[in-house]
Structure 1
């Protein structure tokens, strides 16, 4: 049955003129693995917590020499790659998420460019920036990067693969059934980065320039900056792959974690966990760390493994309903590739290296006095004594960036805030200070305005009389 399905799918895929032969074979290989059901089930009893040799504590890394020439030598072996395939739709934006303004009028992409420019200027190095786009973000990104034409860094863009969504009941590619617009296709997750880097010619280009490592991170993670201690460690120890992990908090219990299993380090995602062990997986006691998706990978190793077709990462089935049609898209994650590389390690990094902006509540954190901006680097305010950030929960009125920004005359001071919950039609004046635990709830149909200069500490506010 599976063979028949695959044969039908192969025949229909052959007729799709919109994608390359590489994309067709990548797609069919993924579907073939999915249909064969050969997913390895992790035996729970064989899972071990990794030792400090496998997940290295960041504070044990040696600092590289403070010598400009030595630092330049290290940096000249590095390329930075940002995953730029995501749209800002969850935050009510059109176009690539990386062009949302984060702070002082700068977008994610502006900050990334400024950071690399300042590194190259300081050390006389030539660290290039690569942006992996999806077909959703490609055209917009090409226009956007024009503004960096006079920048001193080499910026390269390339596209990740474009795969056809599969119509679930017939198991045929949707574009072959007439759905030829963008909705008929999908980008198959960031695990696709390795073949796409190779197929685009960018991998060979980087190798020809003497580059040895690529630092991969999500474009919306403001903490993912080049770290000389990590780069120095990997080059000296010849680790082919490094995943940055950081201590879990209750907000991260669903994040993938690193385990040792039969002598190899691998990523364990919640989807792979047997139902009986899900609560154990979420516990902060047993699995103390999670994957930040900041990855450092050796370029020659990528080439070797892609050429051998050896990167068989776990498949993530993603069923969806689009325009009333049930479709299936199969994806992979870059972190899951860790088990195929030699001398792969994790590094347990400070939480400051994980500062993603997934929602407007994250935007409020990075736009507040909790952070300052220097040379494109977002730095945490030392006046904040609590190592973890305040938890912020904003109602649907704040979900879209435009309405979020419109509801604040200025972002309140939150250095001494523990938690904030805002529900209903709430508007903030300027110069407001929030401390401790604050909940603000506007009654249905009532506009609640918090006046300029208000100082609110450990309060539940339901109307002007509570201010």
Structure 2
């Protein structure tokens, strides 16, 4: 048994009474299915009665190259088109599409934010898979896991692809009731029946929801063997034939893509060898006295990109056996002045339940998420081009790492970000950019080295067209000072 699994102990009478009350309250709610009610009760039951064994730090071992395979050590394969077609015909691509764009000031699914040249995340994903299918005469379907927040809008957007040569399948992940923190009462049972009373329980829900939707059996019936799962906002998460071939050849049931840590990634989950199995270690599992060690980029050199390749038949076997008991992530929030609790799980934590599970240490280019407008600036700049839907890094940049970009709150919303740039500057030779205050950028600007642009309170800084700024501190004054 892995160290973080819940200890199986008989529930106390108090726990039974509490769970019985929650079951009765849940029965009054008709907005969700019986499968969702059952899944929610299992999660709550584990939370109420589960006593987790902590990670024993001294048992943690760094994974070997057999456990986390270097990308350049993957099984070699022929680039014969017939071989590639046979591989692709075993594959489905699943994008986690339950997130909203609210943190960037947008309404609706995050995947419909425009990334480059008027193309959204979803447009780029569709182009990538269409190009694969056209090139190799294959039939890789695109599967979207929506949430109740994104389902209706996504269906409208998917309509635009109805004439494309691409099968687009959609299903919803579970809809669970938020619980009032003080007594764990499902909030909708207290009258909070609008969307604020509900939540999607994390991307660990992808496995049971794929099965409950019928899409898992549908894919298996079509001869699909593997599903590539990734966040819809990770522009680097394209189909990689080398990884797929390695999994098919070695019969690995699960593969997590990891990539080398930088100082920006120190809180990211990492893969470890623990009691002879590969396991994901998250910072929340680490005792306080070991947190600084966990954040070390010399001891724990890799982190989880949330790109996963998983055997469909293995998912079916484990879901039917109710064997995917991932660690529960309690997520406390305050909504409308009420302290509530959400219980969630993460798909990466499922790795320890699959046979012959591995990690693959992939190039950083496969991790290109857009979480904020600072990320949007990078992917809209001349650092990248788009080729057949794939966002490709410009080889003209000598530095293998991207520039660090910090934009003030004035740039947080996509609409404000776009208004403040007449055009995205050239940043091929930029090391870092920090923007503070009421700043506006012209067009054909080139930024190099370290650049700080600062507008103090009640000031406005306008960077004129066609200027080059290198290693400067720009303020509202007539000249730029050196950094």
Q: TM-score, normalised by structure 2?
A: 0.96
Corresponding residue for residue 278 of structure 2: 265
Does the 8 A contact of 1:114 with 1:376 survive in 2?
Answer: yes
1:33 corresponds to which residue?
Answer: 46
Q: Any residues of structure 2 matched to 1:34-433 within 5 Å, and which?
A: 34-433=47-446
Structure 1 residue ranges, 4+ long, deviating more than 6 angstroms after superposition: none
Aligned-pair CA distance for 1:40: 3.0
- Counterparts of 2:227 and 2:53, CA distance in 1: 28
In 1, Cα distance between equivalents of 2:63 and 2:191: 49
Q: Provide, for residues 412-466 of structure 1, a one-character-per-residue CA deviation record: whole Å limited to 9, x for no partner.
A: 0000000000001100000000000000001211111000011000011112412
Structure 1 gaps, min length 5: none
Q: Which runs of 5+ in 2 are unaligned?
A: 1-13
- Secondary structure, aligned partner of 2:245: helix
Structure 2 distance, partners of 1:298, 1:76, is 14
Within 1, Cα distance between the matches of 2:18 and 2:374? Answer: 45
**After the TM superposition, which of the residue ranges 441-450 and 219-228 deviates more from structure 2?**
441-450
The answer as to whether partners of 2:265 and 2:303 remain within 8 angstroms in 1 is yes
Which secondary structure does the structure 2 equivalent of 1:29 belong to?
helix
3-state secondary structure, aligned to 2:399: coil
Partner deviation per Cα, 1:262-317 (whole Å, 9 max, x = no partner): 00000000000000000000000110000000000000000000000000000000
Task: Provide the alpha-carbon RMSD of the alignment.
Answer: 0.7
Once the two structures are superposed, the pairs formed by residues 442-453 of structure 1 within 5 Å of their partners are 442-453=455-466
CA distance in 1, matches of 2:334, 2:384: 40
Contact in 2 for aligned 1:198/1:204 (Cα 8 Å):
yes
Matched, 1:17 2:30: yes
Return the offset for 1:62.
3.2
Aligned-residue offset at 1:61: 1.3
Secondary structure at 2:193 match in 1: coil
Size of the aligned set, in residue pairs, is 467
The TM-score normalised by the length of structure 1 is 0.99
Give distance in 1, aligned partners of 2:457 and 2:333: 34
* Conserved 8 A contact 1:243-1:293: yes
Is 1:435 the counterpart of 2:448 in the alignment?
yes
Contact 1:64 1:71 in 2 (8 A): no
DSSP 3-state at the match of 1:338 = helix
**Secondary structure of the structure 2 residue equivalent to 1:304:** helix
Give the CA deviation at 1:75. 0.1
